């Protein structure tokens, strides 16, 4: 087992409440890239849509146990794992339809924000990285993930409304830091579906860089049809088309993440300034 991070695992939430920005694509392919780089990795699907689960080829109908059982039925998270999915160092905790009810069922539980943190305690040190795919909302499931995580990676799609709503996510991160998880960090902001030919993309990149500064990943993920095709074959991109630009980009993101964590770069960043109410709205884009 490769545990270069002084025996400490890093739990990373892939979060953005906006739908379809590349959370699942990032979770699956970052996890697979980290496992390929010989870091033992656990991918947790915390989205009732179960796209990470099906994206790695796990048939949801055949599962006896899933994340739901660990969050609400008192099962050990270890029992819900599917081991060595495609890669020897990649394990997956899948999501099934049951998870739809978890948001509502958790409400009445004591310590309702801490269910995932508790469930992770016994397994997190088996891994160098735990990557958690969040649903497109800021409900109790996402709150559980942020409370359990050491850090957040925020994918941003290069589109007109890319940065709108981000202040809501950043406020939620602050709320979690204040109330449940003071050491929650932002490990990186990742531009997805980038098309260098479009002015709009360039402008989103400039504006995001202006605000997030060194938190931006230097690597961006280009729009690449192979990335969109891979889930229908139940495979991470590196096993579907390792030569594709999508595969190479996610391998590069994994390397950048590993370097960031190793240097604990986040610790030296100044805190983000407060957001004025209309910050992060897009400027006019020339036609
Ligand atoms: P949701 O909010 O519904 O969970 P999401 O944020 O997880 O969505 P994805 O499912 O990863 O987003 O991506 C949305 C769609 O865009 C998918 O069809 C996916 O295959 C496609 N996609 C993601 N990244 C890329 C990319 N870099 N190039 C081309 N297609 C992409
Ligand atoms: Mg998703």
53 CB near ligand 1 (under 6 Å):
no
Cα 10 to Cα 123, 128, 221: the distances in Å are 12, 6, 22
Q: Which residues contact 282 (CB under 8 A, 6 or more apart)?
A: 160, 161, 162, 163, 164, 203, 204, 207
Task: Check pLDDT > 60 for residue 251.
Answer: yes
Of 41-45, 157-161, 271-275, which range is least confident? 271-275
Single pTM value for the model: 0.92
Ligand 1 atom with least separation from CA of 135: 4
Distance CA 237, CA 259 (A): 22
Per-residue pLDDT reduced to its tens digit, 58-91: 999 899 999 999 999 999 999 999 999 999 999 9
Instruction: Check if the beta carbon of residue 58 is closer than 8 Å to that of residue 29.
Output: no
* Residues in the chain, overall count: 287
- Is residue 159 in contact with ligand 1, taking CB distance under 6 Å? no
List of residues 6+ apart from 206 with CB closer than 8 A? none
Residues 6+ apart with CB under 8 A from 193: 22, 157, 158, 159, 221, 222, 223
Percent of the chain residues past pLDDT 90, beyond the cut: 80
CA of 5 from ligand 1 middle (Å) equals 30
Alpha helices in the chain (DSSP H): 23-36, 51-55, 67-72, 77-80, 99-107, 115-120, 140-148, 166-179, 199-212, 225-229, 237-240, 245-263
| Statement: residue 98 has pLDDT above 90 | yes
16 has a pLDDT exceeding 50 = yes
Confidence of residue 160 (pLDDT cuts 50, 70, 90): confident
Looking at the DSSP bridge assignments, the partners of residue 45 are 133
Q: How far is the CA of 258 from the centre of ligand 1 (A)?
A: 23
- The answer, yes or no, to whether residue 8 has pLDDT greater than 90, is no
Ligand nearest to the CA of 190: 1
Higher pLDDT pick, 263 / 220 = 220
């Amino acid at each position: 087992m490769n545990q270069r991070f002084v025996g400490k695992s890093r739990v990373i939430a892939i979060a953005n409440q906006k739908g379809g920005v590349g959370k699942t694509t990032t979770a699956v392919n970052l996890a697979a890239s980290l496992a390929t780089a010989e870091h033992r990795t656990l991918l947790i699907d915390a989205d009732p849509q179960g796209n990470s689960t099906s994206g790695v080829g796990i048939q949801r109908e055949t599962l006896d146990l899933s994340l739901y059982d660990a969050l609400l039925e008192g099962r050990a998270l270890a029992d819900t794992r599917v081991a060595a999915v495609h890669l020897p160092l990649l394990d997956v905790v899948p999501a099934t339809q049951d998870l739809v009810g978890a948001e509502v069922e958790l409400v009445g539980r004591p310590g309702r924000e801490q269910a995932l943190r508790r469930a992770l305690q016994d397994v997190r040190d088996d891994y160098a990285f735990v990557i958690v795919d969040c649903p497109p909302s800021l409900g109790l499931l996402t709150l559980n993930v942020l409370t359990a995580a050491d850090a957040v990676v925020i994918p941003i799609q290069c589109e007109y409304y890319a940065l709108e709503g981000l202040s809501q996510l950043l406020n939620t991160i602050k709320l979690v830091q204040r109330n449940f998880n003071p050491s929650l960090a932002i490990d990186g902001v990742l531009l997805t579906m980038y098309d260098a030919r479009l002015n709009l993309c360039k402008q989103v990149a400039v504006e995001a860089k202006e605000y997030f500064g060194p938190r931006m990943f230097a690597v961006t993920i280009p729009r690449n049809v192979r990335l969109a095709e891979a889930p229908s074959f139940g495979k991470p991109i590196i096993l579907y088309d390792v030569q594709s630009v999508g595969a190479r980009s996610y391998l590069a993101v994994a390397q950048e993440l590993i370097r960031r964590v190793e240097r604990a770069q986040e610790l030296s960043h100044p805190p983000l300034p407060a957001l004025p109410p209309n910050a992060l709205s897009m400027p006019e884009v020339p036609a």
